[in-house]
Chain A
């Protein structure tokens, strides 16, 4: 087994898991921050000046 069945193993597992959870969820946050671009792609020209 990769994680030893000891208190030290539990501490190590907790530290890695807690830290990586932050990293991954921050990554999801970054992806979501780019989402408003999708609306601009979906509605091209909404803010463009109207041509006569």
Chain B
């Protein structure tokens, strides 16, 4: 009887994950808890960090079947791996976004390219650190400050780095209000920060309807590697702007967006197991991601300053950093820094132009990178 009792207990113990638990799992569980804390207490990207943090905790409980083949989180990850979820996120983003500020001020779209120097600084840095050219390209795209695009490029070029790159990209996007302002202030004078910009013109309905169609044609024609993302963004935006399919537009912006966000965050978090995440490479990628954000912010501000040499109506260089993408966080940071200098200087609408152009800037950079790195 006693022997049988011990045997039963041993059999039960064999089926738990306790025997496989190591300190790395505990560290990653702490990381997951920190993410959830930051989301709740500091409001840092709660829609992303809650799902990522929770799945990170579950992925580090040895014995959990959820992340193994056949498990629910495993299938969630297939949505990322097969590049289904990032384009669906873009569908929702398109349905939620008003591209009016970008259409109204076409000269500011150049900032959407100017603020992407960080991508290439991180790419070269990663190569110097011994990463392969594909890995370096995927790491560089963190500087585009665009989560779905970072996932898309990484899955195509270096899928084994997905957990590190997606976590770095989303974490720095959440931390942009802390990272960008010191760089912006360092590179601008007080007079420049006080520049007021006139309100852009009103954009007509036909312009807003034509915009996603034109963009879809341009991207599919010139950048097929990233066409799925931008095409879905355009579709979502078209649903919003036509004004006759409100039900579909609302579903894309709310229902689909919410379901995909839950699935995507769980998928990313489920890849953060200690065995793959606790490496020197992770620290290097996290550092390079920070470098990318700092250089991207700096190059955006400097591009705006260079533009001012040629423009009669000066632009406030603070909106240059908004070209880094990460809609609307970067635009909000520009507006907040400008307001700290002059309480009556409202720059949010003007900053949204380069901010939206930054989405296309990242897509173009990513598209060119994929085209060149996949070419044989």
Contacts and interface: CB of A to CB of B under 8 A. Distances in A.
B109 A38 contact: no
Contacts of B201: 36
A17 B372 contact: yes
A35 B375 contact: no
B293 interface: no
Given A33-B106, A38-B206, A10 B136 contact: yes
Contacts of B116: 18, 21
Interface residues of B, number: 46
A32 interface: yes
B207 A10 contact: no
A37 B364 CA distance: 26
Task: Give the interface SS of chain B, mostly helix, strand, loop or mixed.
Answer: helix
A50 interface: no
Contacts of B214: 31
A21 to B, nearest CB: 4
B325 interface: no
Contact of A25 (B109, B205, B369): B109
Given A38-B206, A41-B206, A9 B133 contact: yes
B49 to A, nearest CB: 30
Given A7-B128, A25-B113, A32-B109, A17 B368 contact: yes
Interface stretch (B117-125, B247-255, B328-336, B342-350): B117-125
Interface string A15-36: 1111011101111111111011
A52 interface: no
A24 B44 CA distance: 33
B222 interface: yes
A12 to B, nearest CB: 9
Contacts of A11: 124
A25 B372 contact: no
A26 B204 CA distance: 22
A10 B133 contact: yes
A39 B207 contact: yes
B106 A30 contact: yes
Given A2-B372, A24-B364, A39-B204, A29 B124 contact: no
Interface of A: 1-7, 9-11, 13-18, 20-22, 24-33, 35-36, 38-39, 41-42
Given A10-B136, A25-B112, A26-B113, 9 more contacts: A2-B372, A3-B372, A5-B132, A7-B127, A7-B128, A17-B365, A21-B116, A35-B211, A38-B204
5 contacts: A7-B128, A9-B127, A13-B123, A14-B119, A17-B369
